[in-house]
Chain A
């Protein structure tokens, strides 16, 4: 052993004797086994989402160095960031693209868990926390979208928050709380800023900590089909084998992010003007498109109820079903061979993909 490495080992031992977290993490990592089978690829999605979240935290904190959260200065501060600050365009574009990729990997992660039925006992809590994380991710996307205070984000937020207003009974109240007033104004901006930069990230870190702890506690779920297979079971240790493969994926993701940021930098558009007509083609971020399109297709009244209210209620119920999948999937709990909820998942995917395509292709202007 050379002198430098010896000193490093001694330093590590010094800290380990006093803190011990590193050796404890290493012990757990070496003990944990990751099963190898034909569906192993899906095990990487959670880690990929975690990596993108870390990218969001780092670039988000960097954006705070220059962002000014008020209606008078927000747009100008982003303009300054994009034109005068060294690598400002890069930091903002990576934040923009990593957000989109994170939502994408969140969806893929959730649907892979659903289709492989990894939510079965004793992993119900892992599923619940996961669905909560998806909701928090979507809310982060929605609140962050307003912060540049440009025309598109202003009207998308007006439309998006309006949806809350159709909730029967308390809609008007909820709308006022969400907007910080009757309309989308500078008060909405500071409200969304507080949510986007402190409340939601704090909640994500709490729930994510629980989620990762549960994954560690229960180990990776093996799909029932694979469990029934004959033949020897293969697995690799999490540390170092699986983690190194994870790192290769993260490195690739970083390269993709850099390329997207360089070739398709985040746009800024025109400054929001509450007294100007909404521009043509207002549409939400792609991950809200299927809901947006559904609400557009619903008739004004369904059985005497407002069409929008019915739509919102429908999505609320679908969300509730999604959360409760581990409890509702009775046959799987009894250990029967059933694919009912696999088909429910497939139906959800088909619906979301179809409506998203309709939103972009069939009626781009309507």
Chain B
């Protein structure tokens, strides 16, 4: 920018007469420039803010009761359920334990599934494998799946965001 060269003579009083016409022109150009910049800002700022989507309310769900009964979840199987507004996976290990994890693969966000033949959680997008603790054991996933607490209360399965990580 050549701003400094313009601003300095404009602010100085009592320039020699031959240059004052040019100075006046420069002052006017500056005022016009600031005005045009103001109009541009008044147009483009609202447009930029408009395009940025408003913040969604984060799902406050800390626990969810599933519609499936504990007896209906067979050993060595898994199923996807909704935890708040995110998918999660409920599995019963071959040993009979119920566990729940987030179903979003830590690699690129595909939804994982349970592989009974391997007894592993598996992401079909890029062949990522997680063991029954949700630990990433092979393929591209960089991190383990976050685990949720599973409580069986009589006939109900309640999954909650707990300390089990």
Q: Which residues of A contact B (CB under 8 A)?
A: 2-5, 62, 65, 84-88, 90-91, 251, 254, 258
Contacts and interface: CB of A to CB of B under 8 A. Distances in A.
B47 A3 contact: no
B61 interface: no
Interface string B1-40: 1100100000000000000000000000000000000010
Nearest to B46: A87
Interface in B21-72: 39, 42-43, 46-47, 49-54
A86 B54 contact: yes
Contacts of A84: 54
Q: Which of A2, A3, A65, A91 has the most CB of B within 10 A?
A: A2
Question: How would you classify the secondary structure of chain B's contact residues: helix, strand, loop or mixed?
Answer: helix
Interface size class of B (residues with CB under 8 A): 10 to 19
A84 B52 CA distance: 12
Contacts of A2: 2, 5
Looking at B39, B43, B49, B54, the one whose CB has the most chain A CB atoms below 10 A away is B54
Nearest to B47: A62
B50 A91 contact: yes
21 contacts: A2-B2, A2-B5, A3-B2, A4-B1, A4-B2, A5-B2, A62-B47, A62-B51, A65-B51, A84-B54, A85-B53, A85-B54, A86-B49, A86-B50, A86-B52, A86-B54, A87-B50, A90-B46, A91-B46, A91-B47, A251-B39
Contacts of B43: 254
Contacts, number: 34
Nearest to A258: B42
Nearest to B1: A4
Contacts of B46: 86-87, 90-91
Interface of B: 1-2, 5, 39, 42-43, 46-47, 49-54
A87 B49 contact: yes
Contacts of B5: 2
B36 to A, nearest CB: 9
Contacts of B2: 2-5
A248 to B, nearest CB: 11
A251 B38 CA distance: 12
A254 B50 contact: no
- What is the predominant secondary structure among interface residues of chain A facing chain B? helix
Contacts of A5: 2
B1 to A, nearest CB: 6
Q: Which of A84, A86, A90 has the most CB of B within 10 A?
A: A86
Contacts of B51: 62, 65
B7 to A, nearest CB: 12
A302 B39 CA distance: 56
Nearest to A90: B46
Contacts of A88: 50
Nearest first, the 3 A-B pairs at minimum CB distance are: A2-B2, A87-B46, A86-B49
Contacts of A254: 39, 43
B30 to A, nearest CB: 14
Contacts of A87: 46-47, 49-50
A251 B39 CA distance: 9
A3 B47 CA distance: 33
B45 to A, nearest CB: 9
Nearest to B5: A2
B83 to A, nearest CB: 25
B137 to A, nearest CB: 42
A87 B54 CA distance: 11
Contacts of A3: 2
Nearest to B53: A85
Nearest to B45: A87
A90 B46 CA distance: 8
B68 to A, nearest CB: 30
Contacts of B52: 86
Given A86-B50, A87-B50, A91-B47, 5 more contacts: A3-B2, A86-B49, A86-B52, A87-B47, A87-B49
Nearest to B54: A84
Nearest to B6: A2
A66 to B, nearest CB: 9
A88 B46 CA distance: 9
B50 A85 contact: yes
A87 B48 CA distance: 10
Nearest to A91: B50
A220 B154 CA distance: 87
Contacts of B39: 251, 254
